[in-house]
Amino acid sequence: MTGGVRLARLAPPLTLLILLGPLAFGLAGTALPALGYLPDLGGTEFTTAHFSELAEVPGIWRSALLSVAIGLITTLVSLGAVAGFVASDLGTSGFARMRRMISPLLSVPHAAAAFGLAFLIAPSGMIMRLVSPWLTGLDRPPDLLIINDPLALSMMAGLIVKEIPFLFLVTLAALPQTRHLETMRLGRSLGYGRVASFTFLLWPPVYRQIRLAVFAVVAYATSVVDVALILGPHLPPTLPVRLIDWMNDPDLESRFLASAGAILQLGVTLAALIAWVGLERIGAFLVRQIRDNGRRWRRDMAVRALARSVMGGSAVIIFGGIAVLALWSVSGLWQFPDALPSSFTWKSWMQALPRMSGPLGTTLAVAGLSTLIALTLTILCLEREYETGRGRGGGALLLIYLPLIVPQISFMFGLQVLSIWLGVDASFSALVLAHLVFVLPYVFLSLSDPWRAHDRRHDLIAAGLGMSRTRTLVKIRLPMLTRAILTAAAVGFSVSVGQYLPTVLIGAGRLTTVTTEAVALAAGGNRRVIGVYAFMQTLLPFFAFAIATGLPGLVFRNRRGLRV
Amino acid sequence: MIKSPILFAGALSAALAFSQTSHAADPDPRDWDAVLQEAKGQTVYFNAWGGSENINLYIDWAGQTLKERFGVTVVHVKLDDTANAVATVLAEKAAGKSEGGSVDLIWINGENFASMKRQDLLMAPDWTTSLPNWAYVDHETKPTILTDFTIPTDGLESPWGGAKMVFFHDTARTPADSVPGSSAELLDWAERNPGRFSYPQPPDFIGSSFLKQVLSETIADPAKLSQKVNAASFAEDAAPLFAYLDRLHPNLWRSGKAYPQNYPDMKQKLADGELDIIFAFNPSEASAGIAAGELPDTVRSFTYTEGTLGNTHFVAIPYNASAKAGALVLANFLISPEAQLRKQDPSVWGDPTVLSMDKLSAEDRAAFEALDLGIATLRPDELGPALDEPHPDWMERIEGEWLKRYGAAN
């Protein structure tokens, strides 16, 4: 035993502390003011008055119900599309093509995707420009409420196109742990259609594995802020947006209301999750009913076409949106219904780049550092698990998923109050720590499967040749897993780049990243500037993934076995 | 986890104990050399609304100039609402953080200034009239420099620019002879042209200002506006305003189910052809937009014959700012003839100066007179009368009432 491996012993408790400490403190820091206790603001007695006040706010129940509905519908549609597509195309060449096309989409930050969508579908957006005036006869944009619609349809569309890549990749990760090709073949040989074979035989074990990821999608969609600010309804907005407004109100009394609202948000997310579990039951029941009536469902082309078009559509929307963002960033005057700007200019970039250096530096430093810490902790945890053979239980997995399931806004408020008390608000280390809470789970989740799948016989041979454990780790396992490690790093990096709320609240305006700048400047509605920032926001994770894909080939150019 | 509450309490008391250290003396602007000396090497966090690119660029330029000349670093903290910075200072005060605060200079006026002044959140006493460049400020003929929304400034905020509500339209779509000349005519115009007018959703500053403009024109007794709201008669006083809005809203853009974010957003919508009449608090906004390639060169300006709201916007220093000397240097630079001249240039920003032409050197005066205010900017004598801003209390009450009536309209 050497130092490195002994260190690994500390890693699992430290990881849990980093994940759950902020969560616990943050929730406490939110719950106490919600109950009226915040001595600095004169709240010394426990009271439920703030909840009564909350119930009186006009439209509050509508906001809350809307958030629940968004969570459920977004998850249902994106999960349905992913399941439908995997069912129809698993094992085909089209599947591999879609996999290559969808994977990079995971790196596109939510805010950038939302802007892209807005630029496409707004009444003065790209789609309307392309069909006007020759088709529509319009030389002015129609007065239609498409973006910010009261039913939040555009917001749900924005979330769905981003959740599809996530759920698709999670499903892909789960498939190898089932004997999917054989299973499908069995179903087909019994005369069932592709979709039926998949749904009856393969989906139950796959869903069991991705269930927590699906919960995370439900929770995220009920509590998202940045996408709601860009695409969400206005009168009233969804619950999380209202919480932010109260938090920023110059009347500090509103903080009690905001805290009570954050607890309501917790309830909203919980309600959505419970409703989702209900939907799971109904779904399982329906599948059983349909299965047991014995039909083979061989003519499933309609389902397959639908799933394919939703999947393909989401890719087209994101790519198209980013292309339009890029176009706006170099456009001069661009009036409706022109399909192209009347002039092109680099002015927006020239003006933005010098001012972007500060936020860009912060973005890179915070993302780099939090990813590095997350990676180190994850590897040590996995090494420890490898050594002891423990830690694969469902309980441990739930703990790792917890920061992704509890609404960010519900514990970030409390964490902000705490950081002001401790005087560490707007400090770099606090910001890294806040990002780590979200980076760590993603890094862990993306690295743990390849790590566990690693063939132990390599280590046995190394041990047989007299290598120590640490040496085995450094010389054998890390090089062999370089690709997986770099991919996990790219995932962690893009998660950090995309963080809006923790950066706004803990960075306190002094530490800004490309994402917070993009959302702040979006307030101005200047499409050229939004184009520059959102494009930049997309570029960073893209580079990270490009490095993760390209670097191993470069480093291992003289190791044939490590090339893919 | 059992130890956590104790850790929490310990950290908390440590933080509170730490915050009760003694208060350092504020820099004195009368001893300007000492201020410059102290400012060198400081970083000023300038909290200013960041929704407009040309303003952001101007602040950037001011920061670079300060860096070169005085060794002061300026960081523009881009706010989407000035109230956020007020909330930050207030939260720091509540936490006992009476120095080392995170806001050094704040772009402010109206209700936010009133709120900060009322709660003793500003550096005091009077520092603005001791700034070297105060000598150029026109506080004699511009009453809004000393009285901000009826609240005396008392030297707690330094003027930065003038503002007047001005409307814009695109002559390619809306002929100049068809534009409204009052709020009442605007309502008729909106009924004839449904879906082509809107205002930013309150509490956006410009959106709330539109409400105040209508209020000023419709209230039975305008004298009431210079006082705090009388709670007993508020419903009656504001009734004509809300009757107006009830008629206007069905004819707004998107039928009033969504609103533009703010005035730059309206500018984009004018360019897109979504809106036909927009407004801003900067008379040069249209010329600046044309210069920046954001608006077509057929856009022109107009105001109401009976007058539109006019005010001044300021910068102020919070009582617990970390870099007060640096903030003073920046505030002083912002009212220098050089900075004010650049600010009034529509190709930069186009914001009207707060300086008195009579107090400037012949050379500076000539430079101001030589400024091309742009094809879409009205001459000062075409801007029409300036209406006084109502007491800030009105703004708060009207915003609250607006939210109650229309905030959950869908």
In this structure, is residue A439 part of a structural domain? yes
Q: What is the mean pLDDT of each run of 10 residues along chain B (410 residues)?
A: 34 37 70 95 93 88 96 90 83 81 92 90 93 95 90 95 94 93 96 95 90 95 92 94 96 92 89 93 90 90 94 95 96 97 91 93 94 87 89 91 83
Amino acid at position B108, single letter: I
Residues 88-147 of B with CB under 8 A from A: 88, 90-92, 94-97, 102, 112, 115
Assess whether A319 and A387 both reside in one domain: no
Number of folded domains that form chain A: 2
Q: Are residues A42 and A57 in the same domain?
A: no
Per-residue model confidence (pLDDT) at position A4: 55
For residues A95 and A219, membership in a common domain is answered with yes
pLDDT at A539 over 80: yes
Are residues A313 and A234 part of one domain? Answer: yes
Q: How far is B405 from chain A (nearest CA, A)?
A: 9
Q: Are residues A407 and A503 in the same domain?
A: yes
The confidence score (pLDDT) of residue B58 equals: 95
> Which residues of A fall within a CB distance of 8 Å from B255?
143, 145
- The answer to whether residues A404 and A300 belong to one domain is no
Task: Write down the CATH number for the domain with range B166-310+385-406.
Answer: 3.40.190.10
Spatial distance between the Cα atoms of B97 and B94, rounded to a whole number of angstroms: 7
Last residue of a domain, one of A492, A510, A528: A510
Q: What is the pLDDT of residues B177-231, one digit of tens each?
A: 999 999 999 999 999 999 999 999 988 889 999 999 999 999 999 999 999 999 9
In order of A289, A332, B199, B208, B224, the CA distances from B211 in angstroms are: 60, 33, 9, 5, 16
Pair (A25, A59) in one structural domain: no
Please give the pLDDT value at position A561.
66
> Do residues B234 and B391 lie in contact, with contact meaning Cβ atoms separated by under 8 Å?
no
Identify whether the C-beta of residue A168 lies closer than 8 Å to the C-beta of residue A90: no
Q: Which of B52, B95, B255 is facing A420, going by the closest CB pair?
A: B95
Task: Identify whether residues A394 and A368 lie together within a single domain.
Answer: yes
In chain B, which among 257-276 make CB contacts under 8 A with chain A? 257-262, 264-269, 271-274
Q: What is the pLDDT of residues A450-467, one digit of tens each?
A: 888 777 888 888 888 888
What's the CATH code of the domain at A4? 1.10.3720.10
The helix, strand and coil proportions of chain A, stated in percent and rounded to the nearest 5, come to 75, 0, 25
Same domain, A31 and A65: no
Residue A407 covered by a domain: yes
Is residue A308 classed exposed, middle or buried when 0-12, 13-18 and 19+ CB atoms within 10 A define those classes? middle
Which of A101, A99, A119, A90 lies closest to A522 in space, CA to CA? A119
pLDDT at position B4: 35
Provide the Cα torsion A280, A282, A284, A287; round to 10°. -140
Per the CB < 8 A criterion, the answer to whether B109 and B327 are in contact is: no
Between chains, do A147 and B258 touch, taking CB under 8 Å as contact?
Answer: yes
**pLDDT for residue A299:** 81
pLDDT (tens digit per residue) in A365-422: 999 999 999 999 999 888 888 777 765 566 778 888 889 889 988 888 888 877 877 7
Distance from CA of A356 to the nearest CA of B (A): 12
Q: In this complex, do A526 and B53 lie within 8 Å of one another by their Cβ atoms?
A: yes
B254 Cβ neighbours under 8 A, 6+ residues apart:
A143, A144, A145, B195, B198
Residue B105 host element (H or E) = strand B105-108
pLDDT at position A563: 54
In a domain, A497, yes or no: yes
Under the banding of pLDDT at 50, 70 and 90, the label for residue A113 is: very high
Domain with A399, as residue range(s), is 1-47+362-510
Pair A376, A322 in one domain: no
Cβ separation B52–A524 shorter than 8 A: yes
Report the pLDDT averaged over residues A276-304: 89
Q: Which residues contact A555 (CB under 8 A, 6 or more apart)?
A: A482
Instruction: Examine the domain organization and report whether A101 and A236 are in the same domain.
Output: yes
Give the pTM: 0.85
Query: A71 and A22 in one domain?
Result: no
Mean pLDDT of the A485-506 span: 88
pLDDT at B23: 43
Q: Is A427 exposed, middle or buried, given 0-12, 13-18 or 19+ CB atoms closer than 10 A?
A: middle
> What does the pLDDT read at residue B14?
38
CATH placement of domain B27-162+312-373: 3.40.190.10
Task: Determine whether the interchain pair A521/B273 forms a contact, defined as Cβ–Cβ distance below 8 Å.
Answer: no
Instruction: Write out residues 292-351 of B within 8 Å (CB-CB) of A.
Output: 293-296
Retrieve residue B56's tokens.
């952001």
Domain definitions of chain B by residue range: 27-162+312-373, 166-310+385-406
* A182-196, A432-446, A549-563: least confident range: A549-563
